[in-house]
Chain A
Amino acid sequence: MRNNLFVGHSFVQAFMLLFFFCAPVHAGQVKVFPDAIELQGRGELHSVFVALMQEDAVIGDLSGSASFVSSDEKIFTVDPSGKVKAISDGEAILNVKTKLGDSTARVTVKNTQAAKRISFENEIIPAFTRAGCNSGACHGALAGKGGLKLSLRGYDPAADLFVLTRQANARRVDWAKPESSLLLEKVSLKLPHGGGKKIPVDHPDFNLIRDWISQGALPSTKVEPRIASLEIIPGKLRLKPGDKLRVIARAKYTDGGIRDVSHWARFSSSEEQVATVDQDGFVNVLGNGEASVIALFGNHSGLGAIVSPYSNKLPSDYFAKSLRSNFIDEFILGKLQELQLPTSGQASDQEFIRRLFLDMAGILPTEKELDDFLKDTRANKREHLVDSLIKRPETTDYWAYKWSDMLLISTRNLNQQSVWAFYQFVRKAIADNIPWDKFVHSILTVKGSNLSQGAANYFVLHKDVTDLMETTAVTFMGMSLTCARCHNHPMEKWTQDQYWGMASLFARVGIKNGESLNEIFVETYPVGDVLHPRKGIPMPATPLDAQSMSANSPEDPRDVFSKWLTARENPFFARAIVNRIWRNFMGRGLIEAEDDLRATNPASNPALLDALCEDFIKDGYDTKKLMRKIVLSAAYQRSSVPNSMNESDDRFYSRFLPRRLKAEILLDACSEVTGVPTPFNQILSRAGDAKTAYAGYPNGLRALQLPDASVASRFLDAFGRPERAQACSCERQQDSSVGQALHVFNGNTLNEKLRSRDFVGVKWVGENLANTKIVERVFLRALSRKPNDGELARFLKIMGEADSKDPKARQEAIEDLVWAVLTSKEFVFNH
């Protein structure tokens, strides 16, 4: 009788207990989460989760049908739902019986003798937060509500304590008769309360607040443990649609203590189409795929992963046999196996070369490049193709444009000279393949003239210290800290103090006029502060979660920040750039959006992201090596044609995701196929509402070679070119619109190219090229393939209806042919 065996506290029994719990769990077994519970103080509660296991995975919740018995009710009691309650010090066993098997958990109870001091910060504020009292819509609003103002979600405990216990002649608490305190009468609606009944009289939190008042409504002590982390148990669940269960949120404290805080945490789901979660942690699985259940508590977040595999029946060796070319494929296939998602086939050579050219260099392969590649018989010819393309100037153009988007290089905010200086700095860094950490370091620590040191324009663009710090965080860490400017970040652990500590690192950037009209000098002042708006004092300059600079340090704070940012150990820096580059090629970031990295926005394949980052750092932050590995993976080279089992997958890379060509690439491709370059001869005013003639760009310059985003182009605007006004990937619009369709139908961009004297069709008519040959060449130039028989027949028939003796009619037919191909989905999408 196992149950009796563990009653008592002898060393031997504890040892046997340990032995028992180390035994491996087999399929179909029942397991209790957590298997060890420590309760501090009389009355402390903790729920358990009774899991049905299959190998290491939790596949079901038996908590609802299980029966629970305490081995010693003098130590702890347990209610029918499995919630245990501390009674007195000691150790006992929770026995759990289910139809599918039995299990146990060890319960240790401590400190029931000592009078427990209720913690203002660890208990009272969480109770108010859960009830919504200090939310932005209630007393947490900037102006408070009804004369009571609390800090938003309790970020300022000292102020809250003052407000609750001292302000308004201390009328909110009644020391003599705690249950009659104004604040309790309000929350329980004994007195009229605009917010309604928030905490009923019989609620545990009502009693908690009452007891806290009767203890004297004291603040938290300096030695009190603080919350260190938050977790959801079970941390990973493999479920199916229709499953319903409840997860538990547990907080770990700095003294090692662990508490069940499910009743105070806020739960949300990252993918409500896969699973929803309610305020008490009840999860409802609705679809297939993956979702994260997110718990937020006291500025910490915890994540639980829910995997809901697709119901595909794949052969057991399917994934073992799948094509893999490097470590990327191991991780992707691992994820696909877990989800039972089969892959699409591999892309053909024609598909691959077009795809690669567009993603890597923003250009189409020429007829000759295509032909050479198809004739190449080397086994590793794709590798050769990648290696030659990655060195080409067009690749430099493409990435210079992309980083110029990111760095907001535009005459919208800079003058022409500065734009050129900044752009040339970026372009040269890419041409020289400067490692990413060195590149970023050279921007962040730049000193001198913005005309000779192009990077200095970064500081010209962001003169305001909060703008500078926030933009830097988004650009190089993919992270938004903006919320923490005014209060602690609601979705992240960052506090307002940390925000202003970061801001202090940028407080000494000096900007002064140079020798010419357009010149500005960037330097570092020996002193300079930025004040915390609430505290009215400067915070010590401190990178996130790192050591503060000492006040009299001779170092330039920008150097300190940059060293911290680009250090190998920095958890944000490599992730941000790896995710951006990954998204460029794979069509969807491992984290979406690409600049929304935060603890509560998990990656679709966290292990892959970690491995990519590690590899990237090992390669010395070499972005081109990373690009090379990505495009050589089998995952990048998959066909975009879905099969019946993976067509709903848009994030696990079981197939190549088709994506519309970016505005600039599409325009360049139209120029390339028609043989008619786009004139860029007007620039927009700063407000974007007026145009002026500009003759600085030579004819034949491609859109991707423009240093500036403020060049007038209706086509680029219609297709969603970013304005480069704020650091946000959301600036680039990738959706289709009626306006785009109307522009290619009726607008002058494409129509003028087709009517130009330089149009390639004019030459073909002059050479009297046969229709068959013309159709073929248009297809090769635009789609990197020949027309199939059906297409050729249809095209010839339609073109044949034009009078072949009349050169004008023939010319117009060719114009229409090219128009049709250039507006087809196959052309407009990379696939």
Chain B
Amino acid sequence: MIRIDAKKGPQFCDGFSRRDFIHAGSLPLLGLTYPGFLAAKAGASTEDNDVNCIMLFLVGGPSHIDTWDPKPNAPEEIRGPFKTIQTKAPGIRITEIFPKLANHMDKVSLVRSVYHTASAVHDTGHQMMQTGRLFSGGIEHPHAGCVVSYLKGQRGEVPSHVLIPKPIGRTGGNLPHGHTAGYLGKQYDPFILDADPSAKDFKVPDLLPPDYITSIRADRRRKLRDSVDANVAAFEKDSKSKQFDDNFNLAYKLMTSPKAREAFALNQETDAMRDRYGRTRFGQSCLLARRLIERGVRFVTVNMFETVFDEITWDIHGSRPFTDITEMSRLVAPNFDQAFSALMDDLSERGLLKNTVVTALGEFGRTPKINPAGGRDHHPGVWTILMGGGPIKGGRVVGESDELGYAPKTRPILPGEVAATIFKVFNLDPHHELPGPQGRPMPLVDFNLNPIRELF
């Protein structure tokens, strides 16, 4: 299947001589014998001592009381319908809807006192939990993964930050969600998968050229494209056209790198492995995240849902178009429970957990008092996030909410401190200054915020 159909050897503009393209149909077959897999593995996360991160974004905002911060002694209208269960970590109890997670609590810690003070819409929480800051004055801050891309660069040919499956869409507030590189520039934006890994015919859209485009032709196309330059002056200072070119270069790198393509080839995973994560969009996204980390991606963001409207999500207002508590416990929680547990097991079995931090977080908690529709509304006053892997110790609880789950009782923690923790994991000084808009120095997180030391 490898074709060199040229008289001259294939030469690429960037000076690298590469094997011919591997064509779409042959990829899985080839992957099995491809010696690059081991090389990829060696060249990836185990080569440097850098830690990686998988951020599972629980879009909608899980109810802390119904999940990981139960209040069994609170009045009925607060404690909700679920019983609590003992976990593998002594003294930590969570609700009964996460039986598998309970078995992994020794690997994961809970931070039960995260809160924010901005308006209680999804979008603000998305901004703060992904970037550490609320957007104001027209400045868009970079996602933590984009900061990592910017400061650490790409490992080999795989993108350094991948977003699966799609950016968070409409959630009502009409504000940016913070998945981009913001002021760092579009070249540090995540690579967006834009496909559903659980789909039968899943593949990264347009990753491979059609079979009639040989490497000779692709190279000729690139050379010709670079030759259109009479009007270059109109564009060289223009950020939008620079972004356009950067994306072209990145696309070219991706499509010409067997290693990069192989990283996305989810069909190389066994059926048993795919079943283990659950055949849901989120389950397969988690599996793909593991696969990408294994092959050198530094940061993977997995959005559990794309929107909170007309989807069964964590956004349990109780009435349509949202979800109610029962649907959440029947559909959302088991989906998360299975995928998260499989991910922790799988990473641990492959020796990747020691240098991969996994965090599962939402944009806020939910009102302690159950509303008349039988649901709970937005409550940024306090909520719980999960963190484990890498240097993060498992089996701990940091902070606590008050008896009714309204506000932090001890150790209140702001989203910026969660971001600072992620930066510390990457060995980055959380107060390292980035070049902000117009060269204004911008620390990774504000100077008064520090990593959550109790997790280390």
Residues of A within 8 A of B (CB): 135-138, 141-143, 145-146, 194, 268-273, 276, 286-287, 480, 490, 639-642, 647, 658-660, 714, 718, 725-726, 728, 730, 734-743, 745-748, 751, 755, 783, 785, 787-788, 790-791, 794-795, 798, 801, 812-813, 816-817, 819-821, 823-829, 831
Contact with A along B153-188 (1 / 0, CB 8 A): 000000000000000001000100000000000100
B residues in contact with A137, CB < 8 Å:
116-120, 380-381
Interface contact A735-B186, CB-CB below 8 Å = yes
B27 at the interface (CB under 8 A from A): no
Interface contact A659-B240, CB-CB below 8 Å = yes
| Shortest Cβ distance from residue B124 to the other chain A in the assembled complex, whole angstroms | 10
B residues in contact with A136, CB < 8 Å:
118-120
B residues in contact with A825, CB < 8 Å:
228, 235, 241, 244-245
B41-49, B212-220, B268-276, B389-397: which one contacts chain A? B212-220
A residues in contact with B369, CB < 8 Å:
143
B254 at the interface (CB under 8 A from A): yes
A residues in contact with B208, CB < 8 Å:
746
Known: A142-B367, A641-B233. A820 touches B244 (CB 8 A): no
| Shortest Cβ distance from residue B392 to the other chain A in the assembled complex, whole angstroms | 28
Interface contact B234-A641, CB-CB below 8 Å = yes
Interface contact A658-B247, CB-CB below 8 Å = no
Residue of B nearest to A826 (CB): B231
Interface contact A745-B251, CB-CB below 8 Å = yes
Residue of B nearest to A277 (CB): B137
Residue of A nearest to B172 (CB): A482
| Shortest Cβ distance from residue A274 to the other chain B in the assembled complex, whole angstroms | 8
Could you list some 13 contacts between A and B, CB below 8 A? A138-B117, A142-B367, A143-B369, A276-B137, A736-B240, A737-B189, A738-B191, A738-B254, A747-B205, A751-B210, A816-B220, A819-B224, A821-B224
Interface of chain B residues 386 through 428 with chain A (CB within 8 A): 406-407
Interface contact A816-B221, CB-CB below 8 Å = yes
Interface contact A658-B437, CB-CB below 8 Å = no
Name the 10 nearest CB pairs between A and B, nearest first. A272-B137, A820-B224, A137-B117, A741-B251, A824-B228, A820-B225, A742-B206, A736-B244, A794-B227, A746-B206
Contact with A along B375-387 (1 / 0, CB 8 A): 0010111000000
Contact of A736 among B139, B186, B229, B440 (CB under 8 A): B186
| Shortest Cβ distance from residue B219 to the other chain A in the assembled complex, whole angstroms | 10
Interface contact A741-B237, CB-CB below 8 Å = no
Contact of B192 among A737, A817, A827 (CB under 8 A): A737
A residues in contact with B234, CB < 8 Å:
639-641, 658, 826, 831
Q: How large is the interface on B (under 10, 10 to 19, 20 to 34, 35 or more residues)?
A: 35 or more
B residues in contact with A790, CB < 8 Å:
229-230
Interface contact A747-B437, CB-CB below 8 Å = no
Residue of A nearest to B24 (CB): A746
Interface contact B255-A736, CB-CB below 8 Å = no
Residue of B nearest to A276 (CB): B137
B residues in contact with A748, CB < 8 Å:
210
B residues in contact with A788, CB < 8 Å:
230
Interface contact A739-B192, CB-CB below 8 Å = yes
B residues in contact with A824, CB < 8 Å:
225, 228
- Cα A276 to Cα B139 with chains together (Å): 12
Apart from A736-B240, A825-B228: 8 A-B pairs, beta carbons within 8 A:
A137-B119, A145-B381, A480-B174, A641-B234, A659-B240, A739-B206, A791-B227, A821-B224
- Cα A829 to Cα B244 with chains together (Å): 10
Contact of B207 among A135, A272, A746, A801 (CB under 8 A): A746
Known: A739-B206, A791-B227, A821-B228. A745 touches B255 (CB 8 A): yes
- Cα A141 to Cα B235 with chains together (Å): 48
Contact of B224 among A146, A726, A755, A795 (CB under 8 A): A795
| Shortest Cβ distance from residue A775 to the other chain B in the assembled complex, whole angstroms | 10
B12 at the interface (CB under 8 A from A): no
Contact of A145 among B205, B240, B406 (CB under 8 A): B406
- Cα A287 to Cα B138 with chains together (Å): 14
Known: A287-B438, A742-B251. A658 touches B186 (CB 8 A): no
| Shortest Cβ distance from residue B131 to the other chain A in the assembled complex, whole angstroms | 15
- Cα A828 to Cα B240 with chains together (Å): 11
- Cα A819 to Cα B225 with chains together (Å): 8
B residues in contact with A714, CB < 8 Å:
205-206
- Cα A143 to Cα B207 with chains together (Å): 49
Contact of B174 among A146, A728, A741, A827 (CB under 8 A): A728
B326 at the interface (CB under 8 A from A): no
| Shortest Cβ distance from residue B236 to the other chain A in the assembled complex, whole angstroms | 9
B209 at the interface (CB under 8 A from A): yes
A residues in contact with B438, CB < 8 Å:
273, 286-287
B448 at the interface (CB under 8 A from A): no
B14 at the interface (CB under 8 A from A): no
Residues of B within 8 A of A (CB): 116-120, 136-139, 170, 174, 186, 189, 191-192, 194, 204-210, 212-213, 217-218, 220-225, 227-231, 233-235, 237-238, 240-241, 243-245, 247-248, 250-252, 254-255, 367-369, 377, 379-381, 406-407, 437-438, 440
Interface contact A813-B220, CB-CB below 8 Å = yes
Interface contact A823-B248, CB-CB below 8 Å = yes
B residues in contact with A813, CB < 8 Å:
220
- Cα A737 to Cα B243 with chains together (Å): 8
- Cα A812 to Cα B212 with chains together (Å): 10
Interface contact B247-A826, CB-CB below 8 Å = no
B residues in contact with A738, CB < 8 Å:
191-192, 247, 250-251, 254
Interface contact B238-A742, CB-CB below 8 Å = no
Interface contact A831-B243, CB-CB below 8 Å = no
Interface contact A812-B217, CB-CB below 8 Å = yes
B residues in contact with A819, CB < 8 Å:
221, 224-225
Interface contact A828-B244, CB-CB below 8 Å = yes
Contact of B137 among A271, A725, A734 (CB under 8 A): A271
B residues in contact with A734, CB < 8 Å:
240
| Shortest Cβ distance from residue A732 to the other chain B in the assembled complex, whole angstroms | 14
A residues in contact with B209, CB < 8 Å:
745-746
B residues in contact with A490, CB < 8 Å:
119
Interface contact A642-B217, CB-CB below 8 Å = no
Interface contact B213-A751, CB-CB below 8 Å = yes
- Cα A660 to Cα B213 with chains together (Å): 26
Known: A269-B137, A820-B227, A824-B225. A735 touches B220 (CB 8 A): no
- Cα A787 to Cα B224 with chains together (Å): 13
Interface contact B217-A739, CB-CB below 8 Å = no
A residues in contact with B186, CB < 8 Å:
735-736
A residues in contact with B231, CB < 8 Å:
826, 831
Interface contact B248-A795, CB-CB below 8 Å = no
A residues in contact with B235, CB < 8 Å:
658, 825-826, 829, 831
Known: A136-B119, A276-B137. A742 touches B205 (CB 8 A): yes
- Cα A173 to Cα B18 with chains together (Å): 79
A residues in contact with B223, CB < 8 Å:
798, 820
| Shortest Cβ distance from residue B324 to the other chain A in the assembled complex, whole angstroms | 18
A residues in contact with B212, CB < 8 Å:
751, 755
Interface contact B207-A271, CB-CB below 8 Å = no
B residues in contact with A641, CB < 8 Å:
233-234
Interface contact B205-A271, CB-CB below 8 Å = no
Residue of A nearest to B118 (CB): A137
- Cα A816 to Cα B226 with chains together (Å): 12
- Cα A725 to Cα B307 with chains together (Å): 13
A residues in contact with B205, CB < 8 Å:
714, 718, 739, 742-743, 747
